[in-house]
Amino acid sequence: MSTASEQKNGTMGRDLVVYLCLLALAAIQFVIAYENIDGTQMFVRMLIVALAEAGLALLFFMHLWSEKRMFMWSAGIFTVFVLLAMQYGWTDSFRLVNGAPWAK
Amino acid sequence: MSQADLTMVGHAPGLTTGIPPYSMTAKKMAIWLFIIADTATFAGCLVAYGFIRNGTLNWPRPFHSITNVALMTFILLTSSLTMLLAVRAAKAGDKGTAFLWTMVTAVGGLIFALLHIREWLALIDEGMTMFHNPWGTGLFGASFFSITGLHLLHVTGGVIALLAVGARYKGGRYNADDLEVTGLYWHFVDLVWMFVVPFVYLLNLTH
């Protein structure tokens, strides 16, 4: 019979599976680093794998999955908004290298 | 229906009944708020690093081997698992096992920190400082040391917290909830590393 804590936070077996998945995803990042692809593709692939790792760690290691859905949504929306708002300066970063479009 | 009842119509139940809407302890709420704020801190550092890296032509690629960073990743991920074991044992009331796994986690963090320092010393030995290096733009040292240094600071703080909370838990002053809160912080430190490794190390490998 499972305990109340196990029902809330999952079993040890699940934790072990998540741990092995995280190790596998980390290994995939190392494999990507040695692929013969351009920098942008490499960055995008590594970002996708890192987001998958972060999602697994947040949901199962940090037990966000078993918290109230209202907490998950409110914390998630705030955080994602802040993270997205930080991305607005990238065009200027490309301008530094290419001098375009504003320098033309 | 009274005026008070009318004003409550349309509100979430937790806001009107006195039941906390998130149903978590104040300590847990506090650590989640810290984690959200710290996420913004690390994200800010990584975005600034990406901005500089993307806008600099002679960006160095000084890392020849992935052995050290792979070992560090393995140790940090494994320490997250041992932290889970500690919290699980604490929730089950097994104080001795919970303390043991907490100490194993702290040792994992300590080994990680020592490997990190060893790597720093090797890079410094090759001529890398905050503002100069033999391979390219001096901005590399500033961004590398600040990002990995901030993470190392978190790991060091985490190890101290694990030792302190573990000892107090064993002494009966802290309970399983305190271990869980410390565990949340430790998992967050692990989570940040998942982004530091690809962007700061793997994208700067010598091919």
CATH number of the domain residue B112 falls in: 1.20.120.80
d(CA B148, CA B140): 12
Cβ–Cβ under 8 Å, residues B116 and B75 = no
In angstroms, what separates the C-alpha of B192 from chain A's closest C-alpha?
8
Percent of chain A beyond pLDDT 70? 84
The two three-digit tokens of residue A18, written as one number:
């998540």
pLDDT of residue A1: 44
In angstroms, what separates the C-alpha of A92 from chain B's closest C-alpha?
8
In angstroms, what separates the C-alpha of B203 from chain A's closest C-alpha?
7
Indicate whether B4 belongs to any domain. Answer: no
Partners of B63 on chain A (C-beta within 8 Å) are none
d(CA B157, CA B205): 29
Comparing B67 with B206, the larger pLDDT belongs to B67
Query: Which of these, B139, B143, B151, lies nearest to B57 by C-alpha position?
Result: B139
Query: Which of these, B73, B97, B71, lies nearest to B84 by C-alpha position?
Result: B97
- Which residues form the domain of B46? 25-204
Residue A47 falls in which region: left (phi positive, over 0), alpha (psi -120 to 50) or beta: alpha
Cut 0.90: pTM above it: no
Query: B189 CB contacts (<8 Å, ≥6 apart)?
Result: B76, B151, B154, B155, B158
Confidence of residue A3 (pLDDT cuts 50, 70, 90): low
Indicate whether B11 belongs to any domain. Answer: no
A86 with B203: Cβ contact below 8 A = no
pLDDT of residue A92: 79
Instruction: Read off the pLDDT of residues A34-78 as tens digits, 9 standing for 90 and up.
Output: 999 988 899 999 999 999 999 999 999 999 888 888 888 888 898
Indicate whether B53 belongs to any domain. Answer: yes
Q: Best of B39, B75, B77 to disrupt the A interface by mutation (most A CBs within 10 Å)?
A: B77
The ipTM, to two decimals, is 0.86
Indicate whether B54 belongs to any domain. Answer: yes
Indicate whether B65 belongs to any domain. Answer: yes
Indicate whether B39 belongs to any domain. Answer: yes
Indicate whether B170 belongs to any domain. Answer: yes
Instruction: Read off the pLDDT of residues B122-150 as tens digits, 9 standing for 90 and up.
Output: 999 999 999 999 988 889 999 999 999 99
Residue B26 at interface with chain A, using a CB cutoff of 8 Å: no
d(CA A54, CA A26): 11
Residue with tokens 């119509």: B9
Indicate whether B73 belongs to any domain. Answer: yes
Chain A residue closest to B21 (CA)?
A70
d(CA B134, CA A75): 43
Q: In total, how many domains does chain B have?
A: 1
Residue B22 at interface with chain A, using a CB cutoff of 8 Å: yes
Cis amide bond preceding A101, omega within 30: yes
